[in-house]
Amino acid sequence: MISSTPLTKLIRFLQDDLAISASSMAIVLKQIERNPGPVPMLLWQYGLVTIEQLDRIYDWIDAT
């Protein structure tokens, strides 16, 4: 059973609601291992989400 950590919940939201691909998530997760940072900003910096999607991510984070 996968634990429901905040990161796991965020990843599930990104993949289910915003259709972020597993390969895009792999890029970000690899980057976090080397240089920890906020997942939403890393997704945006790498061009993996639009500014509108970034807003949705932060809205989701605020609501959880």
Q: How do the domains of the chain map onto residue ranges? A: 7-63
Structure token pair of residue 16 = 């289910």
- Predicted TM-score (pTM) of this structure: 0.84
- pLDDT for 36 equals 85
- Flag residues of the chain having pLDDT under 70: 1-3
* 59 CB neighbour count, 10 Å cutoff: 10
What pLDDT does residue 2 have?
52
Tokens for 21? Answer: 């691909």
The per-residue pLDDT for 18 is 96
Buried b (16+ CB within 10 A) or exposed e, 20-55: beeebbeebeebeeeeeeebbebbbeeebbeeebbe
Specify the DSSP element, H or E, that contains 44.
helix 39-45
